[in-house]
Amino acid sequence: MSKYPFHDIERKWQARWEREQTFAVSEDPSVPKAKRKYVLDMFPYPSGAGLHVGHPEGYTATDIYCRYLRMTGHQVLHPMGFDSFGLPAENYAIKTGTHPKITTEQNINKFREQIKRLGFSYDWNREISTHSSDYYKWTQWIFLQLYKKGLAYVAEIPVWYCEALGTVLANEEVIQSPEGPRSEIGGHPVVRKPLRQWMLKITEYAERLLSGLDDLDWPESIKAMQRNWIGKSEGANVRFPLADNPETGIEIYTTRPDTLFGATYMVLAPEHPLVQEITTPEQKKEIDGYIQRAALKSDLERTELSKEKTGAFTGAYAINPVNEARIPIWISDYILISYGTGAIMAVPAHDERDFEFAQRFNLEIIKVVADPQDPDAALVEAFTDTGISVNSGQFSGKPTETAKEEIIQWLEQEKIGSRAVNYKLRDWIFSRQRYWGEPIPLVIGEDGDIQPVAEENLPLTLPEVQSYKPAGTGESPLATVTDWVQTMMPDGSGRPGKRETNTMPQWAGSCWYYLRYLDPNNQDVFAARDKIDYWMPVDLYVGGAEHAVLHLLYARFWHKVLFDIGVVNTDEPFMRLVNQGMITSYAFQRGDGTLVPTDEVSETSPDQWIETATGKPVERVIAKMSKSLKNVINPDEIIEQYGADSMRLYEMFMGPLRQSKPWSTQGLIGIHRFLDRIWRLSERPVTHEPSPAELQKVLHKTIKKVGEDTANLDFNTAISQMMIFINEAFKTESLHRDAWEPFVLVLAPYAPHLAEELWERLGHTESLAYHPFPEYQEELTKDDQVTLVLQVNGKVRSKVEIAAGTPKEELEPLALAHERVQEYTTGKTVVKVITVPDKLVNVVVR
């Protein structure tokens, strides 16, 4: 018997699929909409490290699903491309002097080669890369539509700036360390500083982004994260006049207008524009020092509930409009300029953070909401529940909801406030001060006039630059390319202008890539409308949960804008979302919790390891794959040693798709042996004699289970069922064609190279990729005998084999007569008997 020759088989079929364009797809109006499926993977960023075994997990899942869909009569769009603009390539260019385009395209070639080695059924004719000018021409076009709709504007705002990287970073790209905030990439220091930024008004779409979640088949955890990020609340806007200048007021937003009478001080964010204006000369030094210290903290650190409250008094006072009380104005870093108005009325009696702040700085605390169960209770901590208004003038004695409504009406009547809905969501900071990104197609005149580049002149391409290093002025490296920056205003007036030198963030290209796949070579529009109508929306989108908020929120925002201008057919892009779990690997942990690279550890005995440098024991733990921990598994090595089908099958067999699970080479070897067993079985003589009845039953159970589990993305249990079939098939001396041929088709989505080879050996000349998935006979999936569990008071006392389908009225006397049941029921009263046919009988006694 020959050994499973996976190298030869996999190379052969990958070459044939490419030669015959097996998975290329085009629009066919005769195919009904219900039979068209668009299945999308989150496309990768092509880093220099190449793929690790975690990347193909989601790709394998969608590939199995797509192959199954084709075999069940569906037309499938399944594309792949590369998210190829971004900071890592630019950093590499700065270090090495190599153009980021060169390294990016080298990385893309490496990724493409690795992906193709796994035999995924992508339509490679549709490949896109976000750094290609043919692609980013349309990213720029979409930006111009946003600009024309008034959704793009320029503002000077406080942002995280990294001097070493020379660019602005999003909050999510900043990590907190003992030394202060650092960039996620490179670990460089970052500071808060005001910079001129392009912004996108995603806040105008907050309500639609929120309500649109209701109709999506997404994990509830992802929806909850988006809802929390958008952060809708209802309350009131209220104006607090300055005591010394009533013409100037501080606008605040509150969800608890019923607590206005308890506002005893105000707090502004350190970055609030009024701070410098209202601070008294006596307080200026303290305020300036506090502002500098606050600039070194991340938003997460500033809003951490358990941290000690800090602040500084401005020396100014405001007037509480509901009771004319004069209240001090402080600044504190627990207030963010990016949330609400950047100012709050502080009600220490009914807010935990305000309570701690008031105690720390000896500020007045006035109770204005009482607990109905104990209205006279003294405040030892903030009372944050609803209750009855007290010390609140005409609103005293009213329950919270009534007081809220009546106070809002009174505020509007007195013209000192108004009903308001607020969102935590902030406008999207869209500028990046770097080279390797899409140029923003705008020109700024000497008078500050901003004009868009004419659409017919897109793409505005990146110029060649001598240096990729930041300009050192807070501007992008493009600012140094004078002959590119200096231009004429697009209106034809002949006036000189300067090109915008900031570039777009990496998110821009990934906001709409799923649309370009539909029509990747179109030079006239980003995608023809008939192709959009044919394929959209995406039926299944698979990727990591780390993109739960930003990418998905930004893509939904852009899609809604495109829907509003009439160029796409749906309000939402992705109907179903599935997050695959992470594939983890082993690492080693010191006693203090820090991790040690695997090559710095020695094994002293099974399950005993020491850190080589110190000789101290370390514990083996599960951790995320990381180059620094030296625990990354290279798929090239796995494929070379065990084959692509083994890797595909193992990654699906490790556990449920949505759960994280640790890589185990032993488990991979077991799967490889399973495929080798299939190969050895295939070398038995083929017979046209009917297969044994038991093998037929196992076959039809397998067809049913694999089909249902594949449709539900439950791949691990489908593979288990195939193993059951192979165990049964090994009991026969010959290969029964009536059972073997259907099994090969069932195997095909999972191990496509091996299945194609087995199919050809059975005499077929066409690929099985579009051959109908076998159908099962329901009667053959049912067992003749089933195991009936016998319980007394819910505890298992025995099990018996019975004929499947035995009626309920026969099961109860059978159970009561059983000797093990009688041991526990004799001398007791039978209260009731619970019977589940074919499963269990539970006798309840007392």
Query: Dihedrals φ, ψ of 145, to 5°?
Result: -65, -40
> Nearest Cα to 375, choosing from 364, 387, 386?
387
**For residue 577, what are the β-bridge partners?**
541
Task: For residue 336, give the 3-state DSSP assignment.
Answer: coil
Query: Dihedrals φ, ψ of 144, to 5°?
Result: -65, -35
Angle at 241 between CA 235 and CA 242, to 5 degrees: 135
Question: In which residue are the tokens 């896109």 written?
Answer: 128
Residue type, position 484, single letter: W
Helix%, strand%, coil% for the chain, nearest 5 = 40, 20, 40
> Nearest Cα to 36, choosing from 72, 93, 6, 74?
74
DSSP string, 531-576: HHHHHPSBSEEEE-GGGTTHHHHHHHHHHHHHHHTTSSS-S-SBSB
Residue 627 annotated as part of some ligand binding site: yes
Q: Are 44 and 82 in contact (CB under 8 A)?
A: yes
> Which tokens belong to 792?
């007394």
Residues in the chain: 846
Q: How far is CA 459 from CA 136, 530, 547, in A?
A: 7, 24, 28
d(CA 291, CA 279): 12
Q: How many CB atoms lie within 10 A of CB 691?
A: 21
d(CA 479, CA 462): 12
Q: Are 471 and 485 in contact (CB under 8 A)?
A: no
DSSP string, 215-248: G-B--HHHHHHHHHHH-EEEEEEEEEEBSS-TTS
Question: In which residue are the tokens 């001097």 written?
Answer: 163
Burial class (CB in 10 A: 0-12, 13-18, 19+), 60: buried
Q: Are 582 and 544 in contact (CB under 8 A)?
A: yes
Q: How many CB atoms lie within 10 A of CB 483?
A: 7
Q: How many CB atoms lie within 10 A of CB 784?
A: 9
> Nearest Cα to 78, choosing from 539, 523, 529, 526?
539
**For residue 156, what are the β-bridge partners?**
196
Kindly tell me the sign of the dihedral angle through the C-alpha atoms of 247, 248, 250, 251: positive
Q: Are 11 and 118 in contact (CB under 8 A)?
A: no
Helices (H), 330-478: 352-361, 400-413
Q: Are 657 and 715 in contact (CB under 8 A)?
A: yes
Question: In which residue are the tokens 């109907």 written?
Answer: 575
Residue type, position 757, single letter: E
Q: How far is CA 250 from CA 206, 245, 392, in A?
A: 25, 11, 22
Please name the helix (run of DSSP H) or strand (run of DSSP E) that holds residue 802, with its range, or none: strand 795-803
Q: Which residues are annotated as a binding site?
A: 627
- Residue ranges for the binding site for ATP? 627
